[in-house]
């Protein structure tokens, strides 16, 4: 199971969901993380290479990481999945759509799907202006790859998300419906980008755990 917690611009920290990842390893899964080109912590050049198209090197490097995994004698190459949240949810969608023969199951939480829907103070820092980079925005648009879905994809979003608007997930869901692509969807009423409060996190991670166990 490959994870990308936040996605673009940030590298993985071992404290993120550590108890849940430990739980998944106890169920027999291998948890693996790739800090692809475009993430921080390795210098400006490593991060800046992703400028203008946040999908190109991220997809390439995550696929290479999965191929490395598949060569290990104790890994079943037919059972590699991906999960992520926010930007990591974006990458999850990209993995399932652009590398469907590599990743069989994905869970995408609070995903960006079209950067035209996301706030400009963040998007333009990495993508430039839409008027100057329409090609890059199209290449990075998940909806343009929706026909590639073959595996199991669960999309999750809080309807009160004020960071990544739920319209991102709903637009992709509508695209799948148009293409007659089967998928799974969970909406958490009034929950924000963190999808928390009360019993919410227990419900959320029970859902994610069961989805992987049933489909991977």
Q: What is the mean pLDDT of the chain?
A: 94
Backbone φ, ψ for residue 77 (5° rounding): -65, -15
Whether 14 has a pLDDT exceeding 60, the answer reads no
Mean pLDDT along residues 74-89: 96
Give the span between the Cα atoms of 11 and 181, in whole angstroms. 32
Mean pLDDT along residues 72-84: 96
Whether 15 has a pLDDT exceeding 90, the answer reads no
> What domains can be seen in the chain, in order of their start residue?
2-215 (3.40.50.1820)
Which residue reads 């929706």 in tokens?
146
pLDDT at 5: 57
Catalytic residue among 53, 114, 152, 161: 161
Catalytic residue among 21, 60, 184, 193: 193
pLDDT at 10: 54
pTM to 2 decimals?
0.94
pLDDT at 154: 99
Give the span between the Cα atoms of 31 and 56, in whole angstroms. 23
Reported as a pLDDT band with limits 50, 70 and 90, residue 203 is very high
pLDDT at 1: 82
Reported as a pLDDT band with limits 50, 70 and 90, residue 42 is confident
pLDDT single digits (tens) 138-170? 999 999 999 999 999 999 999 999 999 999 999
Nearest-Å Rg of the Cα atoms of the chain is 16
Give the span between the Cα atoms of 80 and 64, in whole angstroms. 13
Catalytic residue among 86, 111, 114, 165: 86
CB 58 within 8 A of CB 38: yes
Residue of 147 and 13 predicted with greater confidence? 147
Mean pLDDT along residues 89-101: 97
Reported as a pLDDT band with limits 50, 70 and 90, residue 8 is low
User: How far does CA 46 lie from the centroid of its chain?
Assistant: 20
Is 193 annotated as catalytic?
A: yes
């Amino acid at each position: 199971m490959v994870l990308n917690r936040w996605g673009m611009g940030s590298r993985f920290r071992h404290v993120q969901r550590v108890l849940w990842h430990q739980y998944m390893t106890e169920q027999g899964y291998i948890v693996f993380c790739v800090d692809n080109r475009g993430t921080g912590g390795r210098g400006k050049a490593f991060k800046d290479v992703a400028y203008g198209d946040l999908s190109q090197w991220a997809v390439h490097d995550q696929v290479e990481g999965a191929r490395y995994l598949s060569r290990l004698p104790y890994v079943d190459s037919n059972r590699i999945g991906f999960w992520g949240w926010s930007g990591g949810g974006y990458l999850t969608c990209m993995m399932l759509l652009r590398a469907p023969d590599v990743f069989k199951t994905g869970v995408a939480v609070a995903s960006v799907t079209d950067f035209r829907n996301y706030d400009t103070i963040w998007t333009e820092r990495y993508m430039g202006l839409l008027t100057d980079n329409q090609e890059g925005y199209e290449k990075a648009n998940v909806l343009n790859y929706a026909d590639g879905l073959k595996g199991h994809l669960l999309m999750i979003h809080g309807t009160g998300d004020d960071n990544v608007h739920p319209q991102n997930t709903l637009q992709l869901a509508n695209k799948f419906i148009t293409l007659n692509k089967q998928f799974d969807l969970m909406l958490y009423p009034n929950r924000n980008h963190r999808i928390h409060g009360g019993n919410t996190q227990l419900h959320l991670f029970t859902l994610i755990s069961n989805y992987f166990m049933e489909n991977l």
